[in-house]
Structure 1
Amino acid sequence: MSIITLTTDFGTKDHFVGAIKGTIYSELPNARIVDISHHISPFNITETAYILKNAYKSFPEGSIHIIGVDSELNEENKHIALKLDNHYFICPDNGIISLLASEIKPEKIVEINIHDRISTSFPVLDVFVKVACHISRGGTLEVIGKIIPDYKKLVELQPAISADGKTVQGNIIYVDNYGNSISNINKKLFQEVGKGRDFEVIANKYVFNKINAKYSDIIDFSVPENIRQKDGTRLAIFNSANYLEIAIYRSNLNTVGGACSLLGLNYRDTISIKFC
């Protein structure tokens, strides 16, 4: 039986997550449910997309991913189910899929049309769960919706390249648990545009001339430990997801602080790379 994952902004204080799991188990007693996160910032689509893009590939092919962020059904926010990279995603059509599908085109997309049989103010529970259980039993997407050609694009998830090819401009799309500020500029784009040229990374008033391979690259281990650079040094790095990140070495939001607080790099702030 396929794994069913849950990604929501519901938190864990209220009954929502428990009700979703209970309903899945009522329909599929042998279900395997995995929480990716329930602590997405409320209604934050870009944060959801970033977390899900970097989590889903670790699951087996055929896994089913329920996404419950900004999921209320209305004229501008339809519900869709799709197959992408041999995984299934059930979510609102609000741009969440933009980052996931930036490099891999969905194999099939349907607009879910079972709502006329269900009146609900909790679509993740009453609609998305039913769709997930249907797919888990081997059901096809066409049964629960009509095929559509595309999904809603979220422009802010995509960096822009200047006409002369000398500048890539992006935005901070996620601040992690350490306060590191992560942009929408990935290593592949950096290499394609940069072609080995010298560069400057400009983030707020800070300039970086080097992008590190790992956080500890900024430490000179050849000098005695008592005179090495201390915690709190700023750096640029391509993180484990290959996205450009501005970080503070050994940051801690409760003590040293993170890039978001110390450097003033928060969600949607601009970051750019200028090539020589």
Structure 2
Amino acid sequence: MPLITLTTDFGWKDPYVGAVKGAIYKELETVNIVDISHDVSPFHIAEAAYIIQNAYASFPEGTIHIIGVDAEHTPENKHVAILLNGHYFICADNGVLCLIMSKLKAEKMVEINIHDRISSNFTTLDVFVSTACHIARGGTLEVIGRPIESLRSITGIHPIVSESQSYINGQVIYIDNYGNSVTNISRELFHQVGRGRKFVLSTRSEKLKAIYDRYSDIVNFEVEPNKRDVDGKGMVVFNSSGLIEIATYRSNPMTVGSASTLFGLQIDAPVIINFENS
């Protein structure tokens, strides 16, 4: 049975998510639809890129992923369908796949050209649904588009390393449900540039000198629980996606606070790691 996922910035108040699902079922009654997220910040490509990068690989190969973020069809915002790492992606060519494609090469890429057959300005509902259902029926990408060689990228999604290898200049690209601020600096890049040197991570007013592998590493379990006083304490951790995340231990934006609220670390906030000279 075909599997189609949805990642959008539609939210849940409006009828758009339901309309997209209804359109899919109208074309294919035997299909499974999975919501990855509909809470992407409106038009925020980097946030959508982070979400889809960290979700798609958990699905079986052959899954079709519709990404409805900044998807209006314009001369500068083409629609594409891509076969990448055994998965199909249908989205606008706006940089949303640049995190995945920084390490993987697409098997096939086409610019969708079926717009003249469809009259609507709700492109996720019409063009993306029609393309997804075509693929789900076993159709090929070449039938619904012309081959292309490359996709657009977006600035800010990748960190900058100084020529002297003395610092990494990154930024916050995602705020999770706990208020933790995820950066675009990977564990791999940190170790590659740092080479074991001492460092200071600076962002807004915070300066931190340690990175943990787990949230609980900040806790001294030899101290009695009522004397630990670590809830809400700022920390840096390599998260499950292998990215540096600025967090507060057992954070809760409604009680002890979170990195995003206590440190002012919203999306696009700068994060700089300075390394000591060798």
Does the 8 Å contact 2:83/2:108 carry over to 1? Answer: yes
CA distance in 1, matches of 2:74, 2:184: 28
Does the 8 Å contact 2:2/2:30 carry over to 1? Answer: no
2:213 paired residue number: 213
- What does 1:128-167 align with in structure 2 at a 5 Å threshold? 128-167=128-167
Q: Tell me how far 1:75 sits from its aligned partner.
A: 1.3
CA distance in 2, matches of 1:156, 1:68: 21
- What does 1:237-252 align with in structure 2 at a 5 Å threshold? 237-252=237-252
1:35 paired residue number: 35
Q: Tell me how far 1:118 sits from its aligned partner.
A: 1.3
Q: TM-score, normalised by structure 2?
A: 0.97
What SS does structure 1 have at the residue aligned with 2:245? strand
Does the 8 Å contact 2:49/2:97 carry over to 1? Answer: yes
Write the deviation string for residues 186-213 of structure 1: whole angstroms up to 9, x where unpaired: 1111121122222221122211111001
- What does 1:189-228 align with in structure 2 at a 5 Å threshold? 189-228=189-228
Does residue 106 of structure 2 align to residue 123 of structure 1?
Answer: no
2:62 paired residue number: 62
Does the 8 Å contact 2:81/2:90 carry over to 1? Answer: yes
CA distance in 1, matches of 2:153, 2:32: 31
Write the deviation string for residues 26-85 of structure 1: whole angstroms up to 9, x where unpaired: 111110110001111111111101011000010001100000011101111111110111
CA distance in 1, matches of 2:118, 2:55: 31
- Identity in percent: 54
What SS does structure 2 have at the residue aligned with 1:157? coil
CA distance in 2, matches of 1:22, 1:103: 35
CA distance in 2, matches of 1:230, 1:17: 40
1:231 paired residue number: 231
Q: Tell me how far 1:18 sits from its aligned partner.
A: 1.0
Does the 8 Å contact 1:220/1:229 carry over to 2? Answer: no
Does the 8 Å contact 2:10/2:39 carry over to 1? Answer: yes
CA distance in 1, matches of 2:198, 2:143: 53
CA distance in 2, matches of 1:16, 1:261: 31
Write the deviation string for residues 91-134 of structure 1: whole angstroms up to 9, x where unpaired: 01111011121111212111100011112110101100000011
Does the 8 Å contact 1:65/1:89 carry over to 2? Answer: yes
CA distance in 1, matches of 2:169, 2:124: 35
Q: Tell me how far 1:265 sits from its aligned partner.
A: 0.9
Structure 1 unaligned spans of 5+ = none
Write the deviation string for residues 208-264 of structure 1: whole angstroms up to 9, x where unpaired: 111001111111111112211231100000101111000011111111211011011
One-letter amino acid matched to 1:98: C
2:45 paired residue number: 45
What SS does structure 2 have at the residue aligned with 1:172? strand
CA distance in 2, matches of 1:83, 1:193: 32
Write the deviation string for residues 146-202 of structure 1: whole angstroms up to 9, x where unpaired: 011100111210100101011111110001111111100111111211222222211
CA distance in 1, matches of 2:226, 2:183: 34
Q: Where has structure 1 moved over 4 Å in runs of 4 or more?
A: none
Does the 8 Å contact 2:175/2:181 carry over to 1? Answer: yes
CA distance in 2, matches of 1:229, 1:105: 47
CA distance in 1, matches of 2:234, 2:41: 25
Structure 2 unaligned spans of 5+ = none
What SS does structure 2 have at the residue aligned with 1:66? strand
Q: TM-score, normalised by structure 1?
A: 0.98
Does the 8 Å contact 1:171/1:269 carry over to 2? Answer: yes
Does the 8 Å contact 1:219/1:229 carry over to 2? Answer: no
